[in-house]
Structures are given as C-alpha cells and as structure tokens.
Chains A and B, each alone.
Chain A
Amino acid sequence: GAVVSQHPSRVICKSGTSVKIECRSLDFQATTMFWYRQFPKQSLMLMATSNEGSKATYEQGVEKDKFLINHASLTLSTLTVTSAHPEDSSFYICSAKTGGANTGELFFGEGSRLTVL
C-alpha cells in the first residue's frame, strides 16, 4: 500500500508554545490530505481536509486559528498547534487519499502523540 510518513512521532511541549507536525506521502502525490485526532479508546475524529495550494476545510467545532494547516506541495501537509494547552494533548494522525476521488481509500501516517505540560 501507499506510504504516508508523519513526524515527529512524539512531542512534549510547554503550555503556550506552538508545535508543528509534518505529513508526507512518500511514494505518491496527494492533492488531498486529512488530519484526524484520536483520544484514548475513541474513534478517529476528522479535524480538517488539507488541499494542495488552497485553504484547508475545517470540520465543525475545530478552530482554524488554533490548528493551522498548510499543504504547500503534493507530498507535504503540516499541522501547527498554536499556543498549545494541556487539553490539546492527543494523538494526531494524518492520512492521504489515493485512487479516484470517490473510492475513499485512505492511507494513514504513524501518528504523532502530543503531550502539553
């Protein structure tokens, strides 16, 4: 299957600082990438859809000024958690779509565990 790389896998930061997470598609070009958040023993929650060369589309209830998304190239999307607080501590996972627009096949990165102290 397609390979999606995410970095860093784990980050610990102080409250008030900003953290950037990178998502790369290694062996394919992804015009669309997705950012999910997952709390322990809960399902994946879609935060936003990242489109190359345009603004991200955020899901209802997700603060776009808090979670900045940049999709500067066909292989890279970044999520920046700005002014992080302990409640932002979570597992953030990116994914990218291959195949046709309507097939729904998604390949996920390894995830980034954010801990805000």
Chain B
Amino acid sequence: QKEVEQDPGPLSVPEGAIVSLNCTYSNSAFQYFMWYRQYSRKGPELLMYTYSSGNKEDGRFTAQVDKSSKYISLFIRDSQPSDSATYLCAGFTGGGNKLTFGTGTQLKVEL
C-alpha cells in the first residue's frame, strides 16, 4: 500500500464548476499536508499548506484535512481553464526531510 493514495484521473469539469480533489494516506505521523499544482512539463508549485486537521482557505482554494479518517481534500471554486493541471498532494511528518507525494490527479477544466 502506498503511503499516499490519489486517483490519477483525468477529471474533466465544465468551467465554473466546484472541483473536489482527494487523497488518503496511511502514515499516522504526518502532521503537515501540502497541495501542489503542476502544469505540463513544469515543476510543481506550492498551492496550499496546512498543519494538522482543519480547513484553510486561500481565494478560490480550500484545503481540508481530516486526520481521524486520514483524508485530505482540495476544493476549487469557480474553476477556470487555467486551473487545468495535475494536482499533487503530499504529507510530511515534521521530522527529517522527506515529503511523501501522491501520484497526482490530472484536472481538465473545459470551456
């Protein structure tokens, strides 16, 4: 079992839709959770960063962490074609240097 599981997609939605991206994880020691956006042939870009359980909102993006169920989500409101990318979730224990990434979910927002 992978430490971080993520549906690879692709997920296609119409412009303006609310997008829900999800990951599950198995490592109870994860304290920090990140969402990265990666455009084709580019490096990942940090989108959201959360510590422990709870919600965090930044513009059209909301990250949720539920440590009791080991479930993390990213919501995108009013999705735009420019949101089309691969979204990677990651967990981090807080010790050492290693982030554990999911495989990424490919999102396509269509006009």
A interface residue count range (under 10 / 10 to 19 / 20 to 34 / 35 or more): 20 to 34
A64 to B41, CA, bound (A): 26
Query: Chain A: interface secondary structure?
Result: strand
Q: Which of B6-35 contact A (CB under 8 A)?
A: 8, 32, 34
**In the bound complex, do residue A6 and residue B43 qualify as a contact, i.e. CB atoms below 8 Å apart?**
yes
**In the bound complex, do residue B88 and residue A44 qualify as a contact, i.e. CB atoms below 8 Å apart?**
yes
Known A-B contacts A104-B34, A105-B49, A107-B46; A44 and B101 likewise in contact (beta carbons under 8 Å): yes
Interchain nearest-CB distance for B93 vs A (Å): 8
B interface residue count range (under 10 / 10 to 19 / 20 to 34 / 35 or more): 20 to 34
A113 to B42, CA, bound (A): 9
**In the bound complex, do residue A105 and residue B46 qualify as a contact, i.e. CB atoms below 8 Å apart?**
yes
Please report the number of residue pairs spanning A and B whose Cβ atoms sit closer than 8 angstroms.
56
- The residue on B at minimum CB distance from A97 is B97
A97 to B104, CA, bound (A): 21
Query: Chain B: interface secondary structure?
Result: loop
A14 to B67, CA, bound (A): 48
**In the bound complex, do residue B97 and residue A32 qualify as a contact, i.e. CB atoms below 8 Å apart?**
yes
A42 to B4, CA, bound (A): 13
Q: Which of A84-117 contact B (CB under 8 A)?
A: 91, 93, 95, 97, 102-111, 113
Interchain nearest-CB distance for B104 vs A (Å): 6
Binding site for A on B (CB under 8 A): 8, 32, 34, 36, 41-46, 49, 88, 92, 94-95, 97-99, 101-104, 106
